[in-house]
């Protein structure tokens, strides 16, 4: 789909880059010539992903464990990137947390657990990378992974929905504010793409996957390479005039339905709550 040098020499930081969609995007960026920084909390996942990406693509990969909820950690991660590669050209805000819960049963700590990763974490990474991009005077490119319920809202995932809506507003606002510094800010809103993390958090009980697929006019889930190619396009210089945009990649799902988990609201509420309680990790 692209020339092999599309992202040649670009230094790209991917938060949550050790698993799922982050790892798939990083792999594609590596194939297209980028230098990569993978960051998240679990060093082992990052190292495994880095080894696989290096072997598959030949890309240089730096691993920096970092919790995006902690601004100091994030600043150190950006400093480490500059020490190794000399600059930060692109940031992909992909790290997230999510779970299904009835809102009246959600504790303030549960709300914080998701919002602090998704909204605060994206703000931290965006500001730390943005300051570096401004200082470099070479411009930059920030891409955030949201989801279609950022604008439709969705039942049972309220912390994620409000946080993703905030991230989208952050990208649109900074697209204007940081145009002065030649920093572009865009978003991608995926529908369902099979990953271990999303499936464990969001597919309650038997039949959930079939129901989720049936909601999609394309009658299939997204394939990782499709999202990775869209992200590559948005990070490439050829899309230089695209900023403040949000590209939907969902096989038509939100136009056909909207609110990814709203269907749970039509089932018996006691049964739904039992299902969600069974998914909640047990405290020892």
Q: Which residues contact 254 (CB under 8 A, 6 or more apart)?
A: 148, 149, 152, 189, 191, 248, 260
Does 141 contact ligand HXC by CB under 6 A?
no
Q: How many residues does this entry show for the chain?
A: 284
Pick out residues in 141-180 that bind ligand NAP (CB under 6 A): 145, 147
Q: Which entry of ligand NAP, ligand HXC, none binds 171, CB below 5 to 8 A by partner kind?
A: none
Q: What is the DSSP letter of 147?
A: -
CA separation for the pair 141, 93 (Å, rounded): 11
**Shortest distance in whole angstroms from residue 232 CB to ligand NAP:** 16
**Shortest distance in whole angstroms from residue 283 CB to ligand HXC:** 7
Angle value at C-alpha 278, between 276 and 284, nearest 5 degrees: 125
Nearest CB to ligand NAP, comparing residues 156 and 193: 193
Does 21 contact ligand NAP by CB under 6 A?
yes
What one-character-per-residue DSSP string does 155-213 give? TT-HHHHHHHHHHHHHHHHHHHHTGGGTEEEEEEEE-----HHHHHHH--STTHHHHHH
Pick out residues in 187-246 that bind ligand NAP (CB under 6 A): 190, 192-193, 195, 197-198
Instruction: Please report where in the chains the tokens 């992202």 appear, as a residue.
Output: 7
Answer for which of 101, 171, 189, 216 binds ligand HXC (CB under 6 A) is 101
Q: C-alpha 142: how far from its chain's center?
A: 12
CA separation for the pair 9, 247 (Å, rounded): 25
Q: Which entry of ligand NAP, ligand HXC, none binds 154, CB below 5 to 8 A by partner kind?
A: none
Answer for which of 27, 40, 154, 229 binds ligand NAP (CB under 6 A) is 40
Pick out residues in 170-199 that bind ligand HXC (CB under 6 A): 192, 197-198
Answer for which of 42, 131, 220, 280 binds ligand NAP (CB under 6 A) is 42
Does 40 contact ligand HXC by CB under 6 A?
no
Helix (H) or strand (E) holding 46: helix 43-57
Pick out residues in 53-112 that bind ligand NAP (CB under 6 A): 67-69, 94-97
Instruction: Please report where in the chains the tokens 């990208």 appear, as a residue.
Output: 171
- Say if residue 253 is exposed, middle or buried (CB neighbours under 10 Å; 0-12, 13-18, 19+): buried
Nearest CB to ligand HXC, comparing residues 172 and 273: 273
Residues that bind ligand HXC (CB under 6 A): 96-99, 101, 107, 109-110, 113-114, 147, 160, 192, 197-198, 201-202, 260, 279-281
Residues that bind ligand NAP (CB under 6 A): 15-16, 18-22, 40-42, 45, 67-69, 94-97, 117, 121, 145, 147, 190, 192-193, 195, 197-198
């Amino acid at each position: 789909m692209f020339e092999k040098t599309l992202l040649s020499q670009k230094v790209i930081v991917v938060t949550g880059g050790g698993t799922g969609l982050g790892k798939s995007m990083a792999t594609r960026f590596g194939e297209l010539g980028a230098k990569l920084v993978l960051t998240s909390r679990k060093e082992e996942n990052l190292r495994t992903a880095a080894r696989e990406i290096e072997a598959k693509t030949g890309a240089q990969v730096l691993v920096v464990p970092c919790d995006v909820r902690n601004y100091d950690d994030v600043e150190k991660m950006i400093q480490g990137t500059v020490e190794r590669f000399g600059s930060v050209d692109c940031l992909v805000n992909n790290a997230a947390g999510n779970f299904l819960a009835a809102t009246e049963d959600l504790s303030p700590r549960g709300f914080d657990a998701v919002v602090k990763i998704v909204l605060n974490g994206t703000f931290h990474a965006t500001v730390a990378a943005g300051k570096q991009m401004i200082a470099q005077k070479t411009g930059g490119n920030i891409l955030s992974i949201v989801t279609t319920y950022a604008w439709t809202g969705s039942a049972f995932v309220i912390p994620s929905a409000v946080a993703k809506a905030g991230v989208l507003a952050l990208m649109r606002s900074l697209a204007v504010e940081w145009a002065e510094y030649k920093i572009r800010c865009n978003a991608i809103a995926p529908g369902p793409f099979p990953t271990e993390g999303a499936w464990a958090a969001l597919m309650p009980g038997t039949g959930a996957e079939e129901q989720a697929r049936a909601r999609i006019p394309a009658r299939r889930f997204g394939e990782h390479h499709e999202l990775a190619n869209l992200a590559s396009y948005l990070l490439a210089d050829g899309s230089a005039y695209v900023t403040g945009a949000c590209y939907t990649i969902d096989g038509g799902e939100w136009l056909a339905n909207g609110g990814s988990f709203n269907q749970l609201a039509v089932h018996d509420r006691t049964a739904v709550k039992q299902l969600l309680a069974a998914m909640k990790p047990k405290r020892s």
